[in-house]
């Protein structure tokens, strides 16, 4: 059990995975609940999926529940998707269920990775590649570079489809807005749970050729309300995005 062999094992296998994910069917920016759910459904269909998550731990806003009370609420419509991830639902009232936020995000993350999606944590998406009016890849860099404001050039990943699952800031869409002028990010509106959850389905779509948006980012692009710690819409939005991306890839 020599230390340098342990180091070699880590560096060699990680590098192999990174190289094999330089050309993917789907590059997902953001490993929150919606991005990971999408990754799961795409990977289940045999697609090559890379999730780039800026933070150390995947999960986005889910493990914190609401204001650090780490339970979440889901609505009846999302029950079957939640159950697919092994999330234990407790009936509350009015068609609402509660779940343990840590169990929920663990189940989603575990199943996405087991299905074959690769989560590259500590790597952020800082730009996209655009060819002839279509997003064809993402530009990535270590989060540490960003945090330390180091002058280090990024690397690029080719992708058949790209998903913005970056949450409230809809970062990838904002980049495309800034660089092309042909996508408008309206910005999220104040909290209105019911309206925000309902709007998510329609807002989950291809917003620019090759670029899809899901989760809170979808509402931010469309100018729909935020919804707080109810997560059913996030799961349904991730699933819908996977269906749309699959369709696009098959064309
Ligand atoms: O924010 P986040 O959880 O997005 P989501 O999947 O779910 C939203 C809910 O958590 C909550 C809500 C409840 O209904 O409104 O906010 O839409 O996860 C987004 C993830 O993207 C990462 C970020 O660290 C987080 O884990 N992220 C953000 N920008 C980038 C990024 C980027 N440029 N590159 C990589 N990861």
> 105: which residues sit within 8 A by CB, 6+ positions away?
33, 36, 58, 59, 62, 63
Q: If DSSP codes are grouped into helix, strand and coil, which group holds residue 186?
A: coil
Residues 197-230 have pLDDT tens digits of 999 999 999 999 999 999 999 999 999 999 999 9
Please indicate, yes or no, if residue 17 is contained in any of the structural domains. Answer: no
Please indicate, yes or no, if residue 204 is contained in any of the structural domains. Answer: yes
Measured torsion, CA atoms of residues 140, 146, 148, 149, in degrees rounded to the nearest 10: 110
Domain of 65, CATH number, reads: 3.50.50.60
Pocket test for ligand 1, best of 96, 166, 170 (most atoms within 8 A of CB): 166
As for how many domains the chain has, the answer is 1
Nearest Cα residue to atom 33 of ligand 1: 125
> Range of 203's domain?
23-249
Please indicate, yes or no, if residue 18 is contained in any of the structural domains. Answer: no
pLDDT at 227: 97
SS3 content of the chain, % helix, strand, coil (to 5): 45, 25, 30
User: Which residues are 72's β-sheet partners?
Assistant: 99
Shortest CA distance to 141 belongs to which of 159, 153, 129?
Answer: 153
What spacing in Å lies between the alpha carbon of 124 and ligand 1's midpoint?
A: 12
Q: What percent of the chain has pLDDT over 70?
A: 100
Please indicate, yes or no, if residue 96 is contained in any of the structural domains. Answer: yes
Q: If DSSP codes are grouped into helix, strand and coil, which group holds residue 135?
A: strand
Mean pLDDT over 66-85 rounds to 97
Question: Long-range CB contacts (< 8 A, 24+ apart) of 9-15?
Answer: none
Residues 107-166 have pLDDT tens digits of 999 999 999 999 999 999 999 999 999 999 999 999 999 999 999 999 999 999 999 999
Asked if 21 contacts 41 with a C-beta cutoff of 8 angstroms, the reply is no
Please indicate, yes or no, if residue 70 is contained in any of the structural domains. Answer: yes
Mean of all residue pLDDT scores within the chain: 98
Residues with CB under 6 A from ligand 1: 29-35, 52-55, 60-62, 124-125, 165-167, 171, 215-217, 226-227, 229-231, 234
Please indicate, yes or no, if residue 41 is contained in any of the structural domains. Answer: yes
pLDDT above 90 (res 251): no
- Rounded distance, CA 142 to CA 64, Å? 24
Asked if 154 contacts 127 with a C-beta cutoff of 8 angstroms, the reply is yes
* Nearest-atom index, ligand 1, CA of 32: 18
- Rounded distance, CA 174 to CA 171, Å? 5
Please indicate, yes or no, if residue 4 is contained in any of the structural domains. Answer: no
Please indicate, yes or no, if residue 13 is contained in any of the structural domains. Answer: no
pLDDT at 24: 98
What spacing in Å lies between the alpha carbon of 180 and ligand 1's midpoint?
A: 23
- Rounded distance, CA 151 to CA 82, Å? 42
């Amino acid at each position: 059990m020599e230390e340098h062999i342990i180091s070699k094992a880590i560096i060699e296998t990680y590098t192999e995975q990174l190289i094999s994910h330089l050309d993917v069917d789907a590059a997902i920016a953001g490993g929150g609940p919606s991005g990971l759910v999408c990754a799961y459904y795409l990977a289940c269909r045999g697609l090559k999926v890379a999730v780039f998550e800026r933070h150390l731990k995947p999960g986005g806003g889910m493990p914190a529940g609401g204001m650090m009370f780490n339970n979440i609420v889901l609505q009846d419509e999302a029950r079957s998707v939640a159950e697919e991830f092994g999330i234990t639902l407790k009936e509350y009232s009015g068609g609402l269920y509660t779940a343990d936020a840590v169990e929920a995000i663990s189940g989603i993350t575990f199943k996405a990775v087991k299905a074959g999606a690769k989560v590259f944590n500590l790597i952020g998406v800082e730009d996209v590649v655009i060819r002839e009016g279509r997003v064809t890849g993402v530009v990535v860099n270590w989060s540490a570079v960003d945090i330390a404001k180091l002058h280090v050039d990024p690397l690029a990943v080719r992708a058949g489809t790209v998903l913005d699952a970056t949450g409230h800031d809809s970062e990838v869409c904002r980049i495309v807005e800034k660089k092309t002028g042909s996508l408008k990010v309206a910005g999220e509106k104040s909290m209105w749970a019911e309206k925000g959850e309902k709007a998510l389905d329609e807002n989950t779509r291809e917003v620019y050729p090759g670029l899809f948006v899901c989760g809170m980012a979808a509402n931010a692009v469309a100018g729909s309300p935020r919804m707080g710690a109810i997560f059913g819409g996030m799961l349904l939005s991730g699933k819908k995005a996977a269906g749309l991306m699959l369709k696009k890839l098959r064309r």
